[in-house]
Structure 1
Amino acid sequence: MIKNALFFLLLGVGVFFSSISQADPWKEMPSEQLEKTLSDKFHGGEYSSKGADSCLACHKKSDAVMALFDGVHGDMNNPQSPMAGLQCEACHGPMGKHNRGGKEPMISFGADSSLDAASQNSVCLGCHQSTELMSWHGSAHNLDEVACASCHKVHAAKDPAFDKLAINASCTACHTKEGADLHKRSSHPFKWDQMTCIDCHNPHGAPGEAALKQFSVNDTCFECHSEKRGPFLWEHAPVTENCANCHNPHGGVNESLTKARVPQLCQQCHADDGHGSRVDAGQSAFNAGKSCLNCHSQVHGSNHPAGKMLAR
């Protein structure tokens, strides 16, 4: 008798929780309908009178949720922090009837969110407005519908996007070709974390090409390689045009990150005219190692009066 009673009690509990799990029709909503529902909730403005306490009544057992209080977004002493204002609802939207068995949706972020990237990002951009973000709307990441939460982690003591030791891994998780180049024999010191991708690029967009912080490739390179800046009395055309004509900035298998070995690199522009450096020429004092650089060592430019051929 007791066993039967216990069986029906457990059965009733199972049915109860099953009904709750099925009482979330919004989890199956199309993105457009979900967005409209959330928009209506915002216009309704039914925020909880108890703020985060209402959320933590259910979510405090989640380590991922509680990690918020280890970072800047959960700092109640910072007036610019969401936790100092509407708290959880500042980002996740008005609670409404959500705490009554999860009957209403809340804004969620990340790969598991049913909202598109633009809707998620609009919440972040509500607070984060700065000169570094002024080009975001025209950036490749925004146009490719990359969500802020794809790179940034809010519920954490330290956002990995601001951790110098984690930035490169975060970028190369998507930019796999560039990630492979970083580990080639000739490269900038990325693999020792002495340089990061954001030393050159602004992931939130920039007016120049490839989201470079400087307006051009050359201006970016000259930030560190100032001795190549010039102006020179005798200039080398491909150098003044674009450093990337000869170099792969992410790394390569040739010396000095060059795209090809010398003389093949030079002969992409300089046709074989019987000069001693041609590939099929025999060894001589002028072409040992088949390298144009044996003589033309000042390939980035020369200020020597007799340096027209970039030899001195």
Structure 2
Amino acid sequence: MGIPKLFLGLMVALGVAAASLSAPAFAADPANDLVLKGDARCTGCHDESDDAGPNMIDLHPSVLSIGKTKHGTRADGRTPTCTDCHGDSDKHVKHRGSGTPPLTDVTFDKKSKTDATTKNGVCLTCHEGSKRIGWQGSKHGLNDVACTSCHQVHAKNDKVMGKFTQIEVCSTCHKEQRTQVTKPSHHPIIEGKMNCASCHNVHSDTPKQLVKDSTNDTCYTCHMEKRGPFVHNHQPVTEDCGICHQPHGTSISGMLKSRAPFLCQECHSQSGHPGQVFALPAGRTTGTSSVGTVARGCLNCHTNIHGGNSTLNNVQARDFRR
């Protein structure tokens, strides 16, 4: 007796379903793209279980996580394909059999043998210009720092782009500054109110890779009241805020490099005002020969230290008093 057609059809359907369940997850149809346009060349083997390789920020996203990033926006015509960044990599793609396949033409992981210039050239194909126009002459660029030393393209959340996590990436190299921002007097970086990029543009060729052309212009972005010009300008303030301040943080109030009167005496010694040894007065005194070291030191009298506008008493105003 023949097998009923309905039963035969059911058996075929079950067989197809079983075959599809037993097939490996990465056996994608090479004709269909999974994440990026033109990625079928790669996704035939690489799936969500493959990580993108170790790098400096200790993050291991899957290869296909790039679909959750700006680089995975399929509706954007500027979105690159895998081969736009990694090269055609014919030897890698055509590898068959056992053993480790040859590397792609361009690799970006921590142990990559691809030089920084080549890596950065891939990124700069699209990302050159605007705030990155000075990369080639920047400190990072001249010291062969690769874009992927800081950025991870396949990660949904790139740490260097996060307000709270950016410092983790920067402090991988800048350990001294990482220590400074944890000192009692510091900019609110570890509190998340600002980050390294608030003051620094790491892609620029400006001095110290600042967001503005000078230290003072960068500081004035927030500290406008110190800008001046004043009737009586304090020249070190006009020249460079960094003469007196350590912007990453110190153990002294106001992020000063040292306490008054010692900081002041680096410039002001016997000329017009007696230098003072740190000590308490032996008795009551109205003189200035020893009170400069008490409490706030010089700032007890010289309160407008950044500059003064007083015209009531030219002698006192010149000395940055009230």
TM range (shorter): 0.7 to 0.9
Kept in 2: contact 1:172–1:178 (CA 8 A): yes
Cα displacement (A) at 1:290: 6.5
TM-score of the pair, normalised by structure 2? 0.76
TM-score of the pair, normalised by structure 1? 0.78
Kept in 2: contact 1:110–1:147 (CA 8 A): no
Identity %: 38
Describe the SS at the equivalent of 1:157.
coil
User: Is 1:292 paired with 2:298?
Assistant: yes
Cα displacement (A) at 1:169: 1.5
Describe the SS at the equivalent of 2:182.
coil
Match of 2:240 in 1: 242
Cα displacement (A) at 1:241: 0.8
Q: Take 1:215 and 1:155, find their aligned partners in 2: how far apart are those partners? A: 33
Cα displacement (A) at 1:78: 1.6
| Equivalent of 2:45 in 37, 41, 58 | 58
Q: Take 2:77 and 2:307, find their aligned partners in 1: how far apart are those partners? A: 54
Q: What do the CA deviations read for 1:5-59 (whole angstroms, capped 9, x no partner)?
A: xxxxxxxxxxxxxxxxxxxxxxxxxxxxxxxxxxxxxxxxxxx987322211221
Q: What do the CA deviations read for 1:219-273 (whole angstroms, capped 9, x no partner)?
A: 1111111111110111111111111100001101111000010000100111146
Which amino acid is 2:45 matched to? C
Q: What do the CA deviations read for 1:191-228 (whole angstroms, capped 9, x no partner)?
A: 1011111111101123x310111111111111111111
User: Is 1:107 paired with 2:95?
Assistant: no
Match of 1:200 in 2: 199
**Bigger mean CA offset, 117-126 vs 158-167:** 158-167
Which amino acid is 1:66 matched to? L
| Equivalent of 2:86 in 87, 92, 95 | 92
User: Is 1:80 paired with 2:86?
Assistant: no
Match of 2:22 in 1: none
Match of 2:210 in 1: 212
Call closer, same or farther: CA 1:132–1:274 in 2, change over 3 Å: closer
Which amino acid is 1:196 matched to? N
Q: Take 1:264 and 1:57, find their aligned partners in 2: how far apart are those partners? A: 68
Cα displacement (A) at 1:146: 0.5
Q: Take 1:234 and 1:290, find their aligned partners in 2: how far apart are those partners? A: 22
Q: Take 1:308 and 1:130, find their aligned partners in 2: how far apart are those partners? A: 46
Match of 1:233 in 2: 231
Name the structure where helix makes up a greater proportion of residues: 1
Q: Take 1:65 and 1:156, find their aligned partners in 2: how far apart are those partners? A: 9
Match of 1:125 in 2: 124
Kept in 1: contact 2:265–2:275 (CA 8 A): no
Structure 1 residue runs without a partner (length 5+): 1-47
Structure 2 residue runs without a partner (length 5+): 1-29, 33-37, 52-61, 96-100
Call closer, same or farther: CA 1:281–1:176 in 2, change over 3 Å: closer
Q: Take 2:278 and 2:155, find their aligned partners in 1: how far apart are those partners? A: 61
Cα displacement (A) at 1:172: 1.3
Which amino acid is 2:70 matched to? V
Q: Take 1:58 and 1:268, find their aligned partners in 2: how far apart are those partners? A: 66
Cα displacement (A) at 1:140: 0.5
Q: Take 1:270 and 1:89, find their aligned partners in 2: how far apart are those partners? A: 63
Aligned CA-pair RMSD: 2.0
| Equivalent of 2:68 in 56, 64, 70 | 70
Q: Aligned pair count?
A: 260
Cα displacement (A) at 1:125: 0.5
Call closer, same or farther: CA 1:103–1:263 in 2, change over 3 Å: closer
Q: What do the CA deviations read for 1:136-192 (whole angstroms, capped 9, x no partner)?
A: 000000111111001111101122222111112211111000110000111111110
Q: Take 2:102 and 2:181, find their aligned partners in 1: how far apart are those partners? A: 49
Q: Take 1:217 and 1:104, find their aligned partners in 2: how far apart are those partners? A: 44
Q: Take 1:59 and 1:156, find their aligned partners in 2: how far apart are those partners? A: 16
Which amino acid is 1:252 matched to? T
Aligned ranges for residues 144-183 of structure 1 at < 5 Å?
144-183=143-182
Call closer, same or farther: CA 1:128–1:290 in 2, change over 3 Å: closer
**Bigger mean CA offset, 104-113 vs 187-196:** 104-113
Call closer, same or farther: CA 1:169–1:105 in 2, change over 3 Å: closer
Q: What do the CA deviations read for 1:95-140 (whole angstroms, capped 9, x no partner)?
A: 3242221357431113121111111110011111221111000000
Query: Which structure's CA Rg is the greater one?
Result: 2
